[in-house]
Amino acid sequence: MIVRGSCLCGAVAFEVRLPFGRFVNCHCNRCRKTSGSAHSANAAVAPEAFRWTRGETAVTRYDLPPARSFATAFCSTCGSPLPHLTRSGREVIIPAGTLDDDPGVKPDRHIHWSSRAAWTCPASDLPTSD
Ligand SMILES: [Zn+2]
Ligand SMILES: [Zn+2]
């Protein structure tokens, strides 16, 4: 099954082949910065399961210099977070809020839970870990 995603302005679009390898809510302070929210909701797939369908040249990537592997990507026009290939090249991280279709699965845990914002929502029914 294929699910589609896009940015806010529509300049960039992509497709992902399911299933996801991982799907988590990450509460680390880097994810809070890049999402502008309490946590990221990130899915991951192998690079072969991902392709841009529109606007790849509008994607800007940012690799956080002091980080071993933290990176983010966003639309150069509207600033929406977008998928990026990890520095290892082993997986593509997909900010799930960019998906236009229902992948039929939900995040299965909260990670970096001890780094959560003081105002974050309670942990729902998902397990937490650091
Ligand atoms: Zn855009
Ligand atoms: Zn994170």
DSSP output for 2-14: EEEEE-SSSS-EE
Nearest to 107 by CA among 38, 30, 7: 38
Query: What integer pLDDT is reported at residue 126 of this predicted model?
Result: 86
**Interval between CA 11 and ligand 1 midpoint (Å):** 5
Q: Does position 14 have pLDDT exceeding 80, yes or no?
A: yes
**Interval between CA 10 and ligand 1 midpoint (Å):** 5
**Interval between CA 79 and ligand 1 midpoint (Å):** 6
- The helix (H) or strand (E) run that includes residue 85 is strand 84-85
Q: Closest ligand to 55 CA?
A: 1
Query: What CATH number should be reported for the domain holding residue 56?
Result: 2.170.150.70
pTM value?
Answer: 0.93
Q: Does position 59 have pLDDT exceeding 80, yes or no?
A: yes
Q: Is residue 122 part of a domain?
A: no
CB 75 within 8 A of CB 11: yes
Q: Specify the number of domains making up the chain.
A: 1
Range of the domain at 103: 2-115
Q: Closest ligand to 116 CA?
A: 2
